[in-house]
Structure 1
Amino acid sequence: MTKPVTGVLFDVDGTLIDSVYLHTTAWWQAFRQYGHDVECARIHRAIGMGSDKILDHLLGEDHDPGDDDALRAAHASLYATSWTALRRLPGARRLLRTCAERGLRNVLATSASKPELEALLHCLDADPVIDTVTSADDAGESKPAPDIVEVALRRSRLDAGEVVFVGDSVWDVKAAGALSIPCIGLTCGGVSAAELLDHGAAAVYANPQDLLEHLDEALTTAFRVALTTA
């Protein structure tokens, strides 16, 4: 099969690293510290947004922003205590290696802060096969805004028409879709296949291992979606 795709953009939290529920717990504890009782289910569904978006999303745009910086700092501190619990999702490193062996360029486009990204990269342990890395600190707005994806494309010198995005949240699908990039969804972050497809994912797989086992199929499907939406 001749593949038109020359690069793969990956989200990291919940896509390559099993960290979504650690983030959820850290945010839940941070909210409780500042008197906000926010259900874990709502927090979980918001993971994938950056800290510049998640507070308005969960507390309402009309909430008092006086504690916002302290809330973000509390989340960061609480989450940092769980870095030793971070684990690669099944097949994550092998997927990156296989993409590289096929001549595809691996680009990480995450809403994580730089300190968090360092912990994620240490856990992933795949630096030799990663071409470009971008974080929330590189973009004006986090997902679902497409800023981080645009930065990733610019730094990797790839065009939106020659890449696919792999992510686990609806925010990934929306960020990719804003640039007409087909998104392959993974359910390992806790979002259902139906919801990812409803928001525009080109195809959905269980985790990186499942995607690896169906990589040709996934890239073909993504290419067909790209042609349909072009």
Structure 2
Amino acid sequence: MKAIIFDFDGTVANTLPVNYHSFQTVFKKYDDKDFTDEEIKEMFGPVEPVIIQQQLEHSDKESAIEAFYQTYEDKHSDLVNANSEMDDLLRSLKDKGLKLGIMTGKSRRSLDISLEKLGMRELFDVIMTGDDVSEPKPHPEGVLKAIDQLGVSMGDVIFLGDSDSDIEAGQRAGIRTVGVHWLPEVQTKEFSHQPDQTFENISDFVDFLEGAKTRLR
């Protein structure tokens, strides 16, 4: 194995709470509507500005989009805790010479905020966001683009994610998939698309990597 591609929200960082809060703030402010976390989750797929353009009834959509990003940045430190175990995992993988990538449906702007706040910007060799693809997950476009930019073969990379769309995207791309439920907030509690492996905690994944280097090649 030469590379690992990660989903971001719910996989690398517990950023779903700040996502929910930022959308809820915008819909309350502009449309006076209250949405639950689950209702917000159902909107996921496109990047955040497109979600607002599609779902918001208020005419001033550009202002609402700016309000989303401002809330996301302002509340990030309050709602997203740094995860030393994940940070250690990523740094250990880098030290071992693995290439690391992100394939997320987030916009680049919100991902940049999160990477900056969490001190993770320098850990990833390739970053693929919802802004970089014409088709969101579960379409495999973003995964395939990330693999191409990483410069590795299909058999030398795995894709980790917490949602069905992650697993389906990896499967449609033709690579090994790993389903993870190791953060407090995840997008899919039970996978309908079965990944090759599943892990409930980071330490078990580390043990798996240590014991399966040959098998993963």
TM-score, structure 1 as length reference? 0.74
Over 3 Å counting, the alpha-carbon distance change for 1:43 and 1:147 in structure 2 is: same
Q: Deviations over 1:86-143 (max 9, x none)?
A: 3333521211122233332111222232332222222443455432222222222332
Matched, 1:111 2:111: no
Structure 2 residue aligned with 1:212: 206
2:69 aligned residue (50, 73, 76)? 76
1:17 aligned residue (13, 25, 32)? 13
Partners of 2:164 and 2:188 within 8 A in 1: no
Over 3 Å counting, the alpha-carbon distance change for 1:192 and 1:153 in structure 2 is: closer
Q: Deviations over 1:36-93 (max 9, x none)?
A: 4432223245556533775699x5xxx9796665554432232121122333335212
Alignment of 1:1-230 (within 5 A): 5-35=1-31, 36-44=33-41, 47=44, 50-51=47-48, 54=51, 69=62, 71-85=64-78, 86-127=80-121, 129-187=123-181, 188=183, 189-191=185-187, 195-196=190-191, 198-216=192-210, 223=216
CA distance in 2, matches of 1:218, 1:123: 33
Higher mean C-alpha deviation, range 72-81 or range 124-133 = 124-133
Partners of 1:90 and 1:209 within 8 A in 2: no
% same residue: 24
Partners of 1:164 and 1:184 within 8 A in 2: yes
**What amino acid is aligned across from residue 6 of structure 1 in structure 2?**
K
CA distance in 2, matches of 1:185, 1:217: 18
**What amino acid is aligned across from residue 84 of structure 1 in structure 2?**
S
Over 3 Å counting, the alpha-carbon distance change for 1:128 and 1:114 in structure 2 is: closer
CA distance in 1, matches of 2:213, 2:49: 32
Partners of 1:49 and 1:144 within 8 A in 2: no
Over 3 Å counting, the alpha-carbon distance change for 1:34 and 1:170 in structure 2 is: farther
Higher mean C-alpha deviation, range 69-78 or range 90-99 = 69-78
CA distance in 2, matches of 1:210, 1:47: 29
Partners of 2:159 and 2:170 within 8 A in 1: yes
Cα RMSD between the aligned structures? 3.2
TM-score, structure 2 as length reference? 0.78
The alignment of Structure 1 onto Structure 2 pairs a total of residues equal to 213
Over 3 Å counting, the alpha-carbon distance change for 1:126 and 1:190 in structure 2 is: closer
Over 3 Å counting, the alpha-carbon distance change for 1:28 and 1:209 in structure 2 is: farther
For structure 1, which runs of at least 5 residues remain unmatched after alignment?
Answer: 225-230
